[in-house]
Structure formats: C-alpha cells, structure tokens
C-alpha cells in the first residue's frame, strides 16, 4: 500500500523543499558563459523566449531573447528565476524505493523498472488492464504527452489515462469545440494589440499570464476600452474602463444579460449570424429572459454594470474576448465558456485582424499537451477515441489492431475516486502533484494509500511522490528537447541546454524503458524526441490539430508554426475562422443556448461565505518547483486568506491574524490579508501549498458533467479567528507547508 514511509518533517529534511538562492558558482558566474542557448520559459502557457547561459555544463544565468516576437525579451519573476532549480540540492539523482520506517533508498535503474513492470503485470493479470492507471501532465512537451498516450493505450492497454490539464483547460476546450469547431485560441496574440474593446473574464492576467499584460496595455494606449469580470479586483482590473465584481459562478448572468441588451439595441450582426452560424434563434429565446435586472441578481452586481458592458462591447468596431480559469473551474464551466463565446459570435467579430477570442492556457504546454492523446477521451490530433475512423487511423499509425485500442476511460478526479473505491489498484504518475492540486485533499490521500503499487516520475520528491513505492528521477525541460504549443497555438521548440544530473534520465527514455518491459518492444524503439515528433506528425495528420506540415527546422525558421499545418508547404494558421469559415463540417459556428444554474455547493446559513482559489505570480501550479526557489518564496512565502475589511470587521479579524477556513470537507488555518479588492461575501486563498496550508483541504470534489473539471472556484465555507496552529507540520519552512 502506498503509505508515507516516515513522518513528513523527516522527508522534508532529506528531500525538501529547501530553498535555492544562488546559481552555481555565484552571481558572477554568468558573466562569461561558455555558451548561451535560445529556448523558452516553461512556467506558464505563454512560453516566453529566453536565453540560458551555461558554464561548466551548468545553467548559471539568463539573457532576454529580444528577437523572439511573442515576449520581445520581457519575462516575469518566475521566468527570471526558474533556472535556479537546475542545480538544486533537492534534485533526485537516482531511482528510489520506499523503505518503511526509513524513508527512501536509492536502487539501480533495472531494479526500479523491473519492480514497477512486475507490479503492472500482476495487477493487470489479476484485476484487468484498466486497474492500472496513468496520470500525466500538461507541462510536458508534445513528444512526451504523445508518448504517454501511446504508452497507456499500446503498452498497458488501459483506458484509464488522463492528465492534470483536467484541472486547467478542459472547460474552455469543450466550449470552443462545440461552438467554433477547434479547441484553440482563435487569434494570434498580436491581434489583441489591434482590438478596440477587450473583455477579460475570470483571468488574473497580471499574475497568471504576466506577459499578456503588455498586449492589453498597448491596446489601451491605442484607444481600446477594457472590461474585466472577476470577484477580485485583480491588478489588471485596477486600470480598466469597467470592472464588474461578479460573484463567483454568476458569469452567465453577465454574458446573457449583455447579449439581451445587444439584441434589444441592434448591436448584433444579423447578416453574419444568418450566413455563418446555426442555433441563434434558441439563444435569442433563452436570453430574452435575462433582462439586466434578472441577470444582475444572478451576477450579484448592479444591472447598470451589465448595460454599460453591453454599451462598450456591442457597438465596438473590433473586439477580443479572453477568459481563463475564473469562469472555467465550475460545475458549469463549459456553459460559462459557451455563454462567453456566444457573445463573440453574435457580433460577427471573429476571424479578423483585431477581432476574436482566446482562452488563456495556464500550464506550460496546456495547449499542446491536450492535443496529443493523453486525455481519457482523445487520441492524437484531437481525435475522438469513440470515432471508428479516428481509431482506425491511430491503429494504422501504431501498427496495432483497432480492437486493442481501449475506449474512453476515467478523467483525473474519477481515477482517484476509482482508486478510493478499490477498482484502480496501481498508478504511474508523471508531472502531476495531486497532493496539492486536487480538491478534497483528505479523500485524495485516502485514495493514494489504497494503491497496491504507485510509481512516480519526477525531478523532485513532490508531496505526492512521498507516497510512491518507486520514484524514477526525471528531467527538467532544459535537460531534454522537444516542442510545446503556446497559448496562441504556435508550436515552438525547447532546446536541450544541459544533461540531467546524476543518474536522472530524460522522461521519454524512462517511459520507453518501462514500455519495452510491459508491452510490444518494437513500438517503443524511439532514439530521440525528434523521432517521437516524426510519429506524432503522422498521428496528427488529418486531425483537427494537424502538425503534419510542421518540422523542427520550420519552427526555427519562423519563430514557431501555428497549427493546423497540414502539409510541408503550408505556412501554418495563426488566425482561425477567417471569412466566417468555422471548423464544423457545415463550416458554420454552432451557437449554444445556456441557462444559469447554481454551483454544487452555494453558501448557506452554516457555511455563509464563498471560497475561491487561484494563483499568485511568484508560484507555478502545485509549487513543487517554485517553492524551492529562494527569491520566489521570498516574494510570496506562504498562503493567506484574502478578505474584505467589512467581512474582517464582522469576524473581528485584524490583518495578519490567523483564521480557520472550514468547509464540509476540511480546514486550513492561515493568516488573514485584509484587502478592499475582493467582494465582502468571498474569501480567496492561493493554492500552491500543501498539508495543513492547502486550500484544497476545503474545496469540493464536484465536476462539470462535460469537461470533468473540478469546481475550484466556488464552495461554501465559514471563517473564524483562530490561534496560531499547533499541527505537527507548523514548524516546517513555509515552502514545505509550515508557517513563518
């Protein structure tokens, strides 16, 4: 059973998180590097260009890469400090196995691989193929994401593979596919600068997509009006023309209410709707009821704000809608996104310079990693795993019989529910830290502890890897090469800068080594990421996300290539839907009527406040990487509970006091941060921390029925003043889940 081998403070002592403050050789070591390598930051979906400086085969610093047009040399705090994890004392340097009562002990590679292979064979022989699950990451390169899908379906023949993009982009993906046909930003980011009206819905751009701030500000300097919807007045919201403090879960009220006003005032493009869309009549029928007054009750804001938003957006000469997790992390996440996209298509302002739509990816390869076949319901090229023609195509590429390819499996959270129920008995996990990032942490821990075999590939011993039977030491992005697909849909290339340290290996080698032990050997004879990319090109050919015409050389020549790119002479497709041609077989956009419905758990008399969670600029996802970098931890050392002064007064809480946040699932105790930039009926906690400091102790295990994304953005809590915690982990450093 996957249990902690020793107490957490002892594990932290051996494996961290410890803080790394200086580059190898000190701050002056970067002055005369041996070489400088152009590559990309991988700490968010922007994938900014950066140059890494190398001395004595270690990364010692960075330079801006000003010629890379997406970010023109600009970087955020994470980007400039990320390289400090390369020479980190916490790096895993050899395979490990759990030694109960002692911790983890190093073992050789063959023993580690054989042990996990034997466990897979045993579990699958006794309980069936689907009893072994694979969970993967959206920070992986396209090549690794493709390989993980092939590993699950061809080597293990398990249906149960999914990835942590299930916590990120899936609502946006499903909505975009339903209405527009493709799952991708409709426009290149350069179109944002040319737009005259920008609507930002549920996106803390300055902290979660920092470089996009520059695009918004240059649009504003050129005269654009900007509207922001968010329960928190995030940094970007403080400078815009209209900030709407929508209550979490009330977004459909805003979108449908705006469309109601636009129809009334004639601010929709009837000619475009008639020529290029279907289903508008039903949308019109639904939004007729969403008068500003009715919509305002849903959204929790004055009706005049909804009217003003329609007045700015409706008659604009060009417009751009951006949304992110704020509207997506809901049990109605897909509906929220569809209501937003309806608003775009109704104006006909899409597929043009300066006019369009984009979801903002969060994770490093949030876009590409969801295209390559590691989602439980998709095959490479955005193919549908239940479509017979799509299955036949992949069977040909893989050289297997179609009948051997598993059908749709469980999504990420459902996999943990199956583990908890005892139907999933084993798991291989890579680039995923569910012991921070999944909701209802007590349940997730119980599920992990029931596994008969748990193997993890990671470069640090994450909070989740502490439960593993076997840990394989993997590679950082700059220790391998491959492609990712940025927020715009632009495929770019990461260069190998240095080798993995010690006995650590490139992740793709580990997967191939394991696959050859448990599956058909000849299907995993790749000798490089480029070889995997060549197979990926063929696999994606003819699919929605067609990479067939993309080569690594073409990427280098053009600063990236936008998919779809169906043949070698094709220049790629930066802007989708030009000329009103949408990606459905009939060439039209398909409007989707959306009705508002409540969240899985609304505030009530017992738990009267809405808890919402999110990110801060200094940390990335579960914090497994950023909580080890001194400068980033100094910037934001520990989580906190944001609350409005009116709420603080009611609770008799002062800034810096400890407060206990309690939900029906669990509790976290943190310091209060009193700010006027949040609704008085909401509290906010950033989610990057583990253990007793995890906001996910409180969040709810409820998912969208279509996208299966968890409802991170709303659950009911009560908050009360508390004394300093006395739990067994409070003395740890804040980076490990303790408190200052």
Q: Which of residues 68-107 bind ligand SF4 (CB under 6 A)?
A: 71, 75-76, 78-79
What residues are paired with 672 via a beta bridge? 641
To ligand SF4, the closest distance from the beta carbon of 634 in angstroms equals: 17
**Choice between 158 and 626, CB closer to ligand SF4:** 626
To ligand SF4, the closest distance from the beta carbon of 211 in angstroms equals: 4
Size of the site for ligand SF4 (CB under 6 A): 13
Q: Which of residues 130-169 bind ligand SF4 (CB under 6 A)?
A: none
Binding ligand SF4 (rule: CB under 6 A), the pick from 59, 154, 174, 211 is 211
Q: How far apart are CA 83 and CA 101, in angstroms?
A: 34
**Do the Cβ atoms of 458 and 439 come closer than 8 Å?**
no
Q: How far apart are CA 518 and CA 153, in angstroms?
A: 12
To ligand SF4, the closest distance from the beta carbon of 430 in angstroms equals: 21
**Distances from the Cα of 147 to the Cα of 30, 384, 388, 523, angstroms:** 35, 17, 22, 11
Nearest residue to ligand SF4, by Cβ distance, number only: 79
Contacts for 473 with CB less than 8 Å, ≥ 6 apart = 91, 92, 93, 94, 95, 96, 458, 459, 500, 502, 503, 504, 505
**Choice between 372 and 625, CB closer to ligand SF4:** 625
**Choice between 47 and 124, CB closer to ligand SF4:** 47
Spell out the alpha helix ranges (H) of 232-302: 251-265, 270-276, 280-287, 292-299
To ligand SF4, the closest distance from the beta carbon of 218 in angstroms equals: 16
Binding ligand SF4 (rule: CB under 6 A), the pick from 210, 356, 409, 474 is 210
**Do the Cβ atoms of 668 and 683 come closer than 8 Å?**
no
**Choice between 48 and 119, CB closer to ligand SF4:** 48
Q: How far apart are CA 329 and CA 599, in angstroms?
A: 11
Contacts for 361 with CB less than 8 Å, ≥ 6 apart = 44, 45, 168, 169, 367, 486, 487
Number of H helices, E strands in the chain: 24, 28
**Choice between 615 and 644, CB closer to ligand SF4:** 615
Which positions from 623 to 662 touch ligand SF4 by CB under 6 A, shown as an x/- string?
Answer: ----------------------------------------
**Choice between 444 and 487, CB closer to ligand SF4:** 487
**Per-residue buried b or exposed e for 182-199, using 16+ beta carbons within 10 Å of the residue's own CB:** bbbbbbbbebbbbbbbbb
**Do the Cβ atoms of 229 and 251 come closer than 8 Å?**
yes
Q: How far apart are CA 295 and CA 278, in angstroms?
A: 25
**Choice between 78 and 505, CB closer to ligand SF4:** 78
**Choice between 139 and 378, CB closer to ligand SF4:** 139
Which pair of structure tokens corresponds to residue 143?
């090549």
**Choice between 187 and 486, CB closer to ligand SF4:** 486
**Choice between 211 and 424, CB closer to ligand SF4:** 211
To ligand SF4, the closest distance from the beta carbon of 408 in angstroms equals: 32
**Choice between 277 and 486, CB closer to ligand SF4:** 486
Which positions from 251 to 270 touch ligand SF4 by CB under 6 A, shown as an x/- string?
Answer: --------------------
To ligand SF4, the closest distance from the beta carbon of 47 in angstroms equals: 5
To ligand SF4, the closest distance from the beta carbon of 230 in angstroms equals: 19
User: Burial, 87: exposed, middle or buried (Cβ in 10 Å; 0-12, 13-18, 19+)?
Assistant: middle
**Choice between 38 and 581, CB closer to ligand SF4:** 38
To ligand SF4, the closest distance from the beta carbon of 71 in angstroms equals: 6
484 forms part of the interface with ligand SF4 (CB under 6 A): no
**Choice between 20 and 445, CB closer to ligand SF4:** 20
**Do the Cβ atoms of 491 and 142 come closer than 8 Å?**
yes
Which positions from 538 to 577 touch ligand SF4 by CB under 6 A, shown as an x/- string?
Answer: ----------------------------------------
**Choice between 189 and 596, CB closer to ligand SF4:** 189
- Phi, psi for residue 207 in degrees, rounded to 5: -100, -35
Q: How far apart are CA 538 and CA 393, in angstroms?
A: 10
To ligand SF4, the closest distance from the beta carbon of 72 in angstroms equals: 11
Contacts for 657 with CB less than 8 Å, ≥ 6 apart = 671, 672, 721
To ligand SF4, the closest distance from the beta carbon of 145 in angstroms equals: 18
To ligand SF4, the closest distance from the beta carbon of 194 in angstroms equals: 21
To ligand SF4, the closest distance from the beta carbon of 42 in angstroms equals: 7
Q: How far apart are CA 374 and CA 608, in angstroms?
A: 39
To ligand SF4, the closest distance from the beta carbon of 635 in angstroms equals: 13
What residues are paired with 611 via a beta bridge? 683, 715
To ligand SF4, the closest distance from the beta carbon of 459 in angstroms equals: 18
Please give the helix or strand (H or E) that residue 309 lies within, else none: helix 303-313
Q: How far apart are CA 232 and CA 692, in angstroms?
A: 24
Packing angle, helices 280-287 and 251-265, rounded to 10:
100
Q: What does the DSSP 8-state code read for residue 442?
A: H
Identify each DSSP E strand in 21-118 by its residue range: 35-40, 49-55, 58-64, 96-99, 103-106
Q: Which of residues 29-68 bind ligand SF4 (CB under 6 A)?
A: 41, 43-44, 46-48
**Do the Cβ atoms of 497 and 42 come closer than 8 Å?**
no
- Phi, psi for residue 589 in degrees, rounded to 5: -85, 145
**Choice between 50 and 268, CB closer to ligand SF4:** 50
To ligand SF4, the closest distance from the beta carbon of 336 in angstroms equals: 24
Q: What is the binding site for ligand SF4 (CB under 6 A)?
A: 41, 43-44, 46-48, 71, 75-76, 78-79, 210-211
């Amino acid at each position: 059973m996957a249990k902690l081998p020793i107490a957490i403070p002892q594990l932290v002592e051996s494996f961290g998180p410890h803080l790394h403050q200086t580059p190898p050789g000190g701050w002056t070591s970067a002055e005369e590097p041996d070489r400088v390598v152009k590559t990309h930051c991988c700490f968010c979906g922007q994938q900014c260009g950066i140059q890494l400086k190398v001395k004595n085969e270690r990364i010692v610093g960075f330079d801006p890469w000003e010629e890379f047009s997406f970010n023109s040399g600009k970087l955020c705090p994470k980007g400039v400090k990320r390289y400090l994890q390369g020479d980190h004392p916490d790096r895993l340097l050899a395979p490990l196995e759990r030694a109960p009562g002692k911790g983890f002990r190093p073992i050789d590679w063959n023993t580690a691989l054989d042990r996990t292979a034997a466990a897979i064979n045993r579990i699958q022989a006794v309980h069936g193929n689907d009893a072994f699950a694979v969970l993967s990451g959206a920070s992986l390169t396209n090549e690794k994401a493709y390989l993980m899908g092939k590993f699950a379906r061809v080597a293990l023949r398990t249906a149960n593979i999914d990835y942590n993009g299930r916590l990120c982009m899936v609502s946006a993906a499903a909505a975009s596919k339903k209405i527009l046909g493709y799952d991708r930003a409709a426009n290149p980011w350069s179109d944002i600068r040319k737009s005259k009206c920008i609507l930002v819905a549920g996106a803390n751009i300055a902290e979660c997509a920092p470089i996009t701030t520059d695009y918004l500000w240059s649009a504003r300097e050129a005269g654009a009006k900007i509207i922001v919807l968010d329960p928190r007045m995030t940094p970007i919201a403080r400078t815009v023309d209209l900030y709407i403090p929508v209550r979490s879960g009330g977004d459909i009220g805003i979108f449908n209410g705006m469309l109601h006003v636009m129809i009334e005032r004639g601010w929709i493009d009837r000619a475009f709707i008639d020529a290029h869309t279907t289903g508008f009549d039903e949308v019109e029928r639904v939004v007729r009821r969403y008068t500003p007054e009715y919509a305002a009750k849903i959204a929790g804001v004055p009706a005049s704000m909804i009217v003003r938003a329609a007045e700015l957006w409706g008659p604009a000469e060009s417009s751009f809608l951006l949304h992110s997790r704020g509207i997506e992390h809901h049990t109605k996440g897909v509906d929220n996104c569809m209501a937003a996209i309806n608003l775009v298509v109704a104006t006909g302002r899409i597929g043009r310079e300066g006019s369009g739509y984009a979801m903002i990816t969060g994770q490093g390869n949030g876009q590409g990693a969801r295209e390559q076949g590691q989602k439980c319901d998709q095959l490479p090229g955005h193919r549908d795993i239940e479509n017979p023609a799509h299955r036949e195509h992949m069977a040909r590429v893989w050289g297997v019989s179609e009948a051997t390819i598993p059908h749709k499996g469980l999504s990420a959270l459902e996999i943990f529910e199956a583990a908890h129920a005892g139907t999933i008995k084993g798991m291989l996990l890579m680039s995923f830290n569910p012991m921070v990032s999944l909701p209802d942490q007590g349940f997730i821990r119980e599920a992990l502890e029931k596994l008969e075999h748990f193997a993890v590939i990671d470069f640090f011993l994450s909070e989740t890897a502490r439960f593993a039977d076997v840990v394989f030491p993997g590679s950082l992005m700059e220790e391998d090469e491959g492609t990712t697909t940025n927020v715009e849909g632009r495929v770019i290339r990461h260069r190998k800068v240095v080798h993995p340290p010690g006995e650590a290996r490139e992740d793709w080698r580990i997967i191939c080594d394991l696959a050859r032990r448990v599956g058909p050997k000849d299907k995993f004879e790749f000798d490089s990421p480029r070889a995997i990319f060549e197979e990926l090109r063929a696999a994606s050919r003819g699919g929605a996300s067609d990479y067939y015409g993309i080569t690594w050389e073409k990427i280098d020549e053009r600063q990236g290539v936008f998919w779809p790119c169906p043949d070698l002479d094709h220049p790629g497709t930066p802007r989708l839907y030009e000329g009103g041609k949408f990606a459905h077989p009939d060439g039209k956009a398909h409007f989707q009527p959306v009705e508002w419905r409540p969240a899985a758990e609304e505030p009530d008399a017992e738990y009267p406040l809405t808890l919402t969670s999110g990110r801060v600029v200094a940390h990335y996802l579960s914090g497994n990487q950023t909580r080890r970098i001194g400068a980033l931890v100094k910037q934001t050392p520990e989580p906190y509970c944001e609350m409005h002064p009116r709420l603080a007064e009611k609770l008799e809480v002062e800034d810096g006091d400890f407060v206990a946040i309690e939900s029906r699932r669990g509790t976290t105790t943190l310091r209060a941060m009193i700010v006027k930039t949040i609704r008085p009926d909401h509290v906010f906690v950033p989610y990057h921390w583990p253990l007793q400091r995890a906001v996910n102790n409180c969040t709810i295990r409820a998912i969208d029925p279509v996208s299966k994304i968890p409802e991170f953005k709303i659950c009911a809590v009560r908050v009360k003043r508390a004394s300093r915690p006395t739990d067994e982990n409070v003395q740890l450093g804040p980076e490990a889940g303790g408190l200052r």
